[in-house]
Amino acid sequence: HDHHHGHGHDHAHDHAHGPRGHAHNDDVRGVALSLDRPLDGQKFTRWIDELLATKGQDILRAKGIIDIAGEDRRLVFQAVHMILEGDLQRPWGTDERRWSRAVFIGRDLDEAALKAGFESCLA
């Protein structure tokens, strides 16, 4: 007798267990950062590379749109763990707010350290 057929409650929670046998979903959170001043492209690249090299296993996803000083186009990036891709995309619109924003989703993220690192990239 198969007791898993159509009895009206959800078994999705059965799949949320980590390697130690209990749910780890609480550890995962998001950190959103934003700055209203342009970033230095080289500083930002160094910072994000270093961040992903050291914390990439805990960063499930990261993405953002960055205002690079002296650049008319938006830098758009995304990362999954240690794999980063980014490129300059469409130009900022003449009436568009130029600002940098990034979101990190992961385990045990240090929001203060992420904020300090992001701010250290200001041009």
In a domain, 15, yes or no: no
User: In the chain, how many domains are there?
Assistant: 1
The token pair that represents 94 in the structure block: 């003449």
Walk across the sheet containing 83-91 and list its strands: 28-35, 100-107, 59-66, 73-80, 83-91
* Residue 9 pLDDT: 44
* Residue 39 pLDDT: 98
Domain coverage including residue 57? 27-119
* Residue 23 pLDDT: 52
Give me the phi and psi of 22, to 5 degrees please. -135, 160
Digit-by-digit pLDDT tens for the chain (123 residues) are 544 444 444 444 444 444 444 455 568 999 999 999 999 999 999 999 999 999 999 999 999 999 999 999 999 999 999 999 999 999 999 999 999 999 999 999 999 999 999 999 999
The CATH number covering residue 103 comes to 3.30.1220.10
The token pair that represents 72 in the structure block: 């008319």
In a domain, 103, yes or no: yes
* Residue 25 pLDDT: 53
In a domain, 7, yes or no: no
* Residue 27 pLDDT: 82
In a domain, 107, yes or no: yes
d(CA 59, CA 67): 22
